[in-house]
Amino acid sequence: MLEDAVKSAWQYGRRFLLNGKVADYIPELSKASPVYLGVCVHTMDGKTVEYGDVDQRFTIQSISKVITLAMALELLGFDKVFSHVMMEPSGDSFNSILKLDTASNRPYNPMINAGAIDVIGLLAPEVSFETLLAFARTICMDDGIELDMDVYRSEAFTGDRNRAIGYLLKSKGVLSGDVLSTVDLYFRMCSLSVTARSLARLGQILANGGVNPVTGERLLSAQTVRTIKTLMLTCGMYDRSGELAVRVGIPSKSGVGGGIMSCVEKCMGIGIYGPSLDEKGNSIGGVYLLEHLSKEMHLHIFDSE
C-alpha cells in the first residue's frame, strides 16, 4: 500500500514537470534536466520505497540551511542562535532584504538567505567547512556527499546579492567576522551534492526526533529537532510555505537545486529530486507529489480522518 501510494504520487507529480522551469539564476543549475523526478521514502520501521531518479546527485542549495541551523543549535544553543535571527515567516522571497532594512535588524528566520548567512557567521569561528561536510554526511547517512566545484564556482561568481546581504548584516552589527569568507562558506554549503536518498535519511532522522533509526544513536537533541521541524513547516518552502502547510501539512525544506526534504512525524522521511521549479523556487513535481501522498496516506499534521 505504501508502494502504491508513493508510485501513484510520483506519477501524479510527473504530470506537472513541464509547468515549471529549472533554476537559471546560477548558470550551472540551468543545466539540469526538467524531466527528472525521483522520490525516496524511508519509513521508521525500516522500509524503503523509491521511484524515479533517486541516484542522481544534485546540489542541496537551501536545504543546507537545515544542516547549518542544526549544527548551530547543537553547538551554540537555542538562545544564542535566536538572539541573532528571528523565527518569523517573512512573507517575502528567500533573497529579500526589504525587511532586514525596514522591519528588523535580525533576519526574520534561518530559512531565508539573510538568516542562513547570519547562522553561518555564528558558526564560522567554531567550525570549518570540513567539519560541516562531515556533519552533513553523518546526518544524511551519505558518505558520497561532496562539494560540487562547478556549482560552487557558479555560486561564487554570481553571488553578489548574498554578499550585499552579508555586508548589510555586518553594518547592523548582527554579523561579526569577515563577510566575504562567511558568504563563501554559505556558497560551499549550498553546493553540497546529495541525492533523494540522502534527503530521505535526513528527513527520517528528524521524523524520529533526532535519533538515527538504524543505529539508535542520537544525532540531534529533541529541542533542536522540534525547532527545525516547526521552522520547516512555517518557512521551509520559500514564500509558498503557508499554502503548502495548509495543502500538504508535512514539514519540508526545498532547495532551488530541485531537492525537497520532508519528515512525517514518527513515521517517515521523504527525499525528492525534481529540478523543474514552481515560481517560488520549489520542485514543482515534488510539491504535487507531496500533496498527493499526504492526501492518500493522511500525512497532514492536522489530518483527522
Phi, psi (deg, nearest 5) at residue 254: -115, 165
Q: Does 222 bind a copy of itself (CB under 8 A)?
A: yes
| Sequence-separated (6 or more) residues with CB below 8 Å from residue 164 | 97
| Rounded-to-integer distance, Cα 147 and Cα 263, Å | 25
Give the binding range for a copy of itself (CB under 8 A) out of 51-59, 132-140, 158-166, 252-260: 158-166
- Alpha-carbon Rg for the chain, nearest whole angstrom, is 18
77: amino acid identity, one letter: G
Phi, psi (deg, nearest 5) at residue 40: -130, 130
Please count the other Cβ atoms lying within 10 Å of the Cβ belonging to residue 87.
17
- Which residue of 171, 178, 214, 279 would you call a contact of a copy of itself, by CB under 8 A? 171
Known active-site residue 186: yes
| Rounded-to-integer distance, Cα 68 and Cα 119, Å | 7
| Rounded-to-integer distance, Cα 161 and Cα 31, Å | 22
| Rounded-to-integer distance, Cα 222 and Cα 228, Å | 10
Known active-site residue 238: yes
Query: How near is the Cβ of 216 to a copy of itself at its closest, in Å?
Result: 14
Known active-site residue 127: no
Q: Does 109 bind a copy of itself (CB under 8 A)?
A: yes
Query: How near is the Cβ of 160 to a copy of itself at its closest, in Å?
Result: 4
Known active-site residue 65: yes
If the CB atoms of residues 207 and 277 are measured against a copy of itself, the closer one turns out to be 207
Q: Does 292 bind a copy of itself (CB under 8 A)?
A: no
**Can you name the residues that pair with 193 across neighbouring β-strands?**
59
Binding mask 230-269 for a copy of itself (x = CB under 8 A): xx-xxx---xxxxx-xx--x-x-------------xx---
Known active-site residue 81: no
- Which residue of 27, 77, 177, 209 would you call a contact of a copy of itself, by CB under 8 A? 209
Which residues contact a copy of itself (rule: CB under 8 A)? Answer: 86-92, 96-99, 101-103, 108-109, 160-161, 163-168, 170-171, 179, 208-210, 222, 225-227, 229-231, 233-235, 239-243, 245-246, 249, 251, 265-266, 300-305
